Amino acid sequence: MVEWKKYSHKSEVKWTVDGLMLDIDHHTKTKHLLLESYLQDWVETLTGNCKIGTGQVTLVDGFCGGGIYRDGDDYWEGSPIRMIRAVEAGWRSVKERKPYQDLNIAYLFVDAQREHTECLKYQIREAGYGELLDSGRCRVVTGDFEDQLEDCLSWVKQRGGHSFFFLDPFGLADLPGMSRAILSLGRSEVLLNHMQHDGFMRPMGWHRSRGSIETFLEKYGFANHYDWCKEIDKLSTLKQQALLHDSALRLYRECSAPRFAWTFAFMRNPNTVYYYLIHLSNKPTAVSVMRRTLWKYNNLDYQFHYGIFGLGYRTLDDLNQNLQLLDIHQRNSQACQEKLREQLERFMFAQKALQFRKLFEGTVEQHPATREDYMGVIHQMVLDGDLEIIREERSRCTSRIFNKDIIRKSEAKQLVLLSDRTSERIPRKRRASRTSSASKHVTALETSLTSQSLLFPEFEL
């Protein structure tokens, strides 16, 4: 961990109580909106979807900053205040429907700079949440998050319930190691900022030009995942980007041992990623909720970008691009569902029958579809006579599929494994209606290159 600290930027003071603050940019705004939208859904799902929801939730922002940005002549709240707003709003809406339910919510915000934590406390009061500080439900701590982690985990464990950690440092930190410790709690998840450009490409370039790339990769334990970087100059930009994406996911999958890992790209320019938000979790429900959120903020063209960057966000350079977005969501949704159908055909080809839950969990890391997409596509396959949905021993034709439902190949029709005939088989009329209904609800995210190359055999780098 000591080595990682060399690359963190904590020595610079960026926020103070008397008005020093950063200017907000488009990426950070989208990152904040995504975080806020996910957390509101998260708390509503945890507490609202069953008779008696969870009793405690704990939210941690390990690199919290000062809680406020300048946005032109206006101000923009930072991640810790947005976390509070989202969770309190989500809980309020559940409480209105279920006044008998209780939820104990606690927040912990950590930053290495005292100026930042002082500024954040001030901003929390300004935002109207002073009571959270006074009651101890919100704690703001000054210190290195790495050093605080052990105490923090004991506290979260003692509280019980579900926890969410947001890890958003400037530059490098031992995020894989910290995430592993966090996920070992069980009902916890991590959304982290993997600084692909500043944290990886820049230091790698620096070391490569000085002939010390191998030592650098070894020192951080990246040698297994980023070994190809020694030859990086020989690769095209897109191939570099695809490998970086794949390596990042492999790094977290192997080092942090989540059950599910997924990325969302923030583009620096049309061909390179600035940073990835990476979601690590152990629960399929967390994956489902996060997918809906990520599709909501995705504005990359699925057909081109998905195999390289996954889903992601790029800033809108001009009005024309903005207008293009009007149909990007529809095109993306259709392309994603067609790929999902191919995937399910392949998957079901090797199975007789299995529960919907197992089907979803067994394939969800191989493409970006949401749970709602699964239901829509399976329903379509039932209509086409390829699959059957069995509930309480009866065959159903429904787009509302439950975890326990059995999905099996139709006895009347055998699935044929032909990857490129999916779109031909779906009648044009039905395809259109599927797409428009699917585009109404928001959808989800991506996977490692290894599995993408199976899904996208036609995709050549």
Ligand X SMILES: C[S@@+](CC[C@H](N)C(=O)[O-])C[C@H]1O[C@@H](n2cnc3c(N)ncnc32)[C@H](O)[C@@H]1O
- The residues of the shown chain that bind ligand X, judged by CB under 6 A, are 8, 10, 63-65, 78-79, 110-113, 116, 144-146, 168-170, 173
Task: For the CB of residue 256, give the shortest distance to ligand X in the complex, in Å.
Answer: 18
Task: For the CB of residue 34, give the shortest distance to ligand X in the complex, in Å.
Answer: 11
CB nearer to ligand X: give 81 or 103: 81
CA distance linking residue 360 with residue 214, whole number of Å: 40
Task: For the CB of residue 261, give the shortest distance to ligand X in the complex, in Å.
Answer: 20
Task: For the CB of residue 196, give the shortest distance to ligand X in the complex, in Å.
Answer: 15
Could you tell me the CA-to-CA distances from 204 to 214, 230, 238, 299, 314 in Å, in that order?
A: 10, 9, 17, 29, 24
The answer to whether 152 and 108 are in contact (CB under 8 A) is yes
CB nearer to ligand X: give 195 or 287: 195
CA atoms within 13 A on the CB side of 145: 31
CB nearer to ligand X: give 161 or 203: 203
Task: For the CB of residue 224, give the shortest distance to ligand X in the complex, in Å.
Answer: 25
The answer to whether 145 and 178 are in contact (CB under 8 A) is yes
In three-state secondary structure terms, 188 is strand
| Burial degree of 205 (CB within 10 A; 0-12, 13-18, 19+) | middle
CA distance linking residue 64 with residue 167, whole number of Å: 8
CA distance linking residue 308 with residue 243, whole number of Å: 8
CB nearer to ligand X: give 149 or 407: 149
For residue 285, give the nearest of 53, 62, 30, 32 by alpha carbon: 53
CB nearer to ligand X: give 110 or 382: 110
CA distance linking residue 184 with residue 178, whole number of Å: 10
CB nearer to ligand X: give 5 or 207: 5
Task: For the CB of residue 61, give the shortest distance to ligand X in the complex, in Å.
Answer: 6
Instruction: Supply 254's token pair.
Output: 């192997």
CB nearer to ligand X: give 199 or 368: 199
CA distance linking residue 418 with residue 213, whole number of Å: 44
CB nearer to ligand X: give 111 or 246: 111
Q: Are strands 104-111 and 272-281 parallel, antiparallel or unpaired?
A: unpaired
The answer to whether 437 and 392 are in contact (CB under 8 A) is no
Task: For the CB of residue 82, give the shortest distance to ligand X in the complex, in Å.
Answer: 8
Task: For the CB of residue 294, give the shortest distance to ligand X in the complex, in Å.
Answer: 17
In the bound state, the residue with its beta carbon closest to ligand X is 78
DSSP of 280-328: EES-HHHHHHHHHHHHHH--S-HHHHHHHH-SEE----SHHHHHHHHHH
Q: Are strands 394-396 and 387-391 parallel, antiparallel or unpaired?
A: antiparallel
Task: For the CB of residue 253, give the shortest distance to ligand X in the complex, in Å.
Answer: 24
CB nearer to ligand X: give 40 or 363: 40
Q: List all residues 6 or more positions away from 31 whose beta carbon is below 8 Å from its beta carbon.
A: 79, 168, 193, 266, 277
CB nearer to ligand X: give 116 or 225: 116
Task: For the CB of residue 13, give the shortest distance to ligand X in the complex, in Å.
Answer: 8
Length of the chain (residues): 461
